[in-house]
Amino acid sequence: MMKCTFLGTGTSMGVPVAGGFGSERINGDPRNQRYRCSVWLETDQTSLIIDTGPEFRLQTIRSGVKKVDLVLITHEHMDHIAGLDDLRAYNYVQKSPIPLYTSARAAKSIRERFCYMFGENKYPGSTSIDIRETDQPFTFNELTITPLTYNHGSITVQGYRIGNFSYMTDVKTVPEETQKKITGSDVLVLSGLRWGPEHPTHLTIPEAVEFATKLNIPKTYLIHMNSYVDHKETNKKLPDHIRLAYDMLEVNIPASD
Paired with 223 in beta bridges are 191
**pLDDT digit string (tens) for 96-121?**
999 999 999 999 999 999 999 999 98
Per-residue pLDDT tens for 176-218? 999 999 999 999 999 999 999 999 999 999 999 999 999 999 9
List Cβ neighbours of 64 (8 Å cut-off, separation of 6 or more).
none
Is residue 256 a contact partner of residue 164, using CB atoms and an 8 Å limit?
yes
pLDDT for 23 equals 86
Predicted confidence at residue 257, as pLDDT, reads 59
Cis peptide bond N-terminal to 197, omega within 30: yes
Amino acid at 236: K
Residue 43: the pLDDT is 97
Superfamily for the 2-253 domain: Ribonuclease Z/Hydroxyacylglutathione hydrolase-like (3.60.15.10)
Of residues 255, 94, 99, 32, the one with CA closest to residue 163: 255
Residue 188: predicted pLDDT: 98
**What is the pLDDT averaged over residues 56-71?**
98
pLDDT of residue 111: 98
Claim: this prediction has a pTM higher than 0.85: yes
Is a pLDDT exceeding 90 seen at residue 25? Answer: no
Picking from 117, 95, 100, 110, the residue whose alpha carbon sits closest to that of residue 50 is 100
Q: Is the dihedral of CA 252, 55, 10, 116 positive or negative?
A: negative
